[in-house]
Amino acid sequence: MRLSSHIFLTLCLFTLPSCYLLTAYKYRQFKLESLSSLRSTPLKKSDEPFAFMDGTRSKMRLQQVLDSMLAPTHTYSFLVIRNDSILYENYFGEITPETQLPSFSVAKSFVSTLVGIALDEGKIKSLDDPITTYLPELKKRDPNLEKVTIQHLLDMRSGIKSLETLKSPFSNAIKLGFGRNITRIALKSRTEKTPGEKDYKNLNTQLLGLIVERATQQKLQNYLQTKIWTPLQMESDASWNTDARKTVRAFCCINATTRDFAKFGRLYLNQGNWNGQQIVSEDWVRGCSDPEIMERYNGYKNQWWSRQSFRSFRDSTEALKFQQQSPYPSVVSGRSSRDGRSRMYRVAYRSPAFYAAGVLNQFVYVHPAKKLVIVRLGRTWGNSSFGPDAFLYWVGDQL
């Protein structure tokens, strides 16, 4: 047994038998079959489920290319939908369309959407409200928390202190993931710097979940069921991981089928509207998807992501023309090619595509201009020649 194993077990021997460290050690390497043994609360499927159309799926080049490129990537499922029709769908190993798969931090985008809905309903008055308006007990912990707003939490700019490395058994990453009372952990928050600087912390989203619960007077899972899961006509039952007190781990861990995750993408594809019902306002969707806003916030806004894209041209005139026609490009830069004899002109620009993302490369990708939703779920990305987000954008560009 390795030294780290001895340390974990020794720590637990001197604490309660239900020590979260023991649980964390048990699940130190994620396996799909572990899902059923983790605490969770159910999300019920709709009585009137919506199904994507079984459209004309590419049986030729696209199918062959995606099958080949995805094979070595440890992907569980990959789904491409355009105009509500399935263009490509594949499941690997023993995974099927009915398999509940983990989303990890994709759940953050669901929670942020619930913030948007609570804002639309007037239950949250303003994103500029101090978080202490809804969590007044935080004032006693640290008066500086009165300077932290809901918007700061949404943008991961709160300045709240939270050690989230997986290398320390006492980090908040371990406590939030396996602790028995995560509300108590969240309400021990303190600041370590002035709000404003981006610093990705799971604790921010857990606090957002508490704020939504206080504002709506509902458990977060019930609010999700009522405001998103049922209205989006989900086809399958799902689950959300909880602690021992049935508080959901808001920062992660909604488990659902690939097609139902795609419905969440469809909601954002259609500017927050679901078949005529406005689930969340267009302004909210624009605030976390508009390329200009995403560029201003370096590709992260309201718990959604955007990747900067690039195009290269041999001719500087063509590069300048593309730059002028692109909505929000950066400057054109000249760059020598590999052989050193010619020059390539590169334009960096912000694509209109955006996505929800989770650890181990879970993605719900949305490209409004192309009416496109792509879902990728799986384990660590196993291809070092190209990254998973770059691959999603490449697929989107081909369609």
- Please report the pLDDT score of residue 6 as a whole number: 46
Task: Reduce the DSSP state of residue 343 to 3 states and report it.
Answer: strand
Residue 30 included in any domain: no
Residue 259 included in any domain: yes
**Cα end-to-end span (Å), the chain:** 51
Q: Could you tell me if 220 and 296 lie in one domain?
A: yes
pTM listed for this prediction = 0.89
- Per DSSP, the residues of 298-334 read TTEETTEE--EEEEEESSHHHHHHHHHHSSSEEEEEE
Residue 312 structural domain: 308-347
Task: List all residues 6 or more positions away from 327 whose beta carbon is below 8 Å from its beta carbon.
Answer: 291, 292, 349, 350, 352
Q: Are 264 and 238 spatial neighbours (Cβ–Cβ below 8 Å)?
A: no
Q: Are 391 and 74 spatial neighbours (Cβ–Cβ below 8 Å)?
A: no
Residue 241 included in any domain: yes
Q: Could you tell me if 312 and 216 lie in one domain?
A: no
Residue 363 included in any domain: yes
Task: Reduce the DSSP state of residue 373 to 3 states and report it.
Answer: strand
Q: Could you tell me if 238 and 183 lie in one domain?
A: yes
Distances in Å between the Cα of 288 and the Cα atoms of 105, 133, 199, 227, 356 are: 16, 24, 18, 19, 11
Buried b (16+ CB within 10 A) or exposed e, 347-361: bbbbbbbbbbbbebb
The Cα–Cα gap between 116 and 125 comes to 11
The Cα–Cα gap between 223 and 77 comes to 28
pLDDT in tens, 46-62: 999 999 998 766 556 78
Residue 364: name the closest of 262, 271, 288, 283 by CA.
Answer: 262
Number of structural domains (the chain) is: 2
Q: Could you tell me if 219 and 323 lie in one domain?
A: no
pLDDT below 50 — which residues of the chain?
Answer: 1-18, 25, 27, 331-332, 336-340
Q: Are 206 and 131 spatial neighbours (Cβ–Cβ below 8 Å)?
A: no
Q: Could you tell me if 339 and 357 lie in one domain?
A: no
The Cα–Cα gap between 354 and 269 comes to 10
Q: Could you tell me if 187 and 333 lie in one domain?
A: no
Q: Could you tell me if 204 and 322 lie in one domain?
A: no
CATH at 379: 3.40.710.10
- Please report the pLDDT score of residue 11 as a whole number: 43
Residue 374: name the closest of 107, 50, 104, 82 by CA.
Answer: 82
The neighbouring-strand residues paired with 365 are 355, 374
Q: Could you tell me if 222 and 339 lie in one domain?
A: no
Q: Could you tell me if 210 and 266 lie in one domain?
A: yes
Q: Could you tell me if 147 and 233 lie in one domain?
A: yes
Residue 27 included in any domain: no
Paired tokens of 392: 């999603």
Q: Could you tell me if 278 and 382 lie in one domain?
A: yes
DSSP 8-state secondary structure symbol assigned to residue 346: E
- Please report the pLDDT score of residue 3 as a whole number: 43
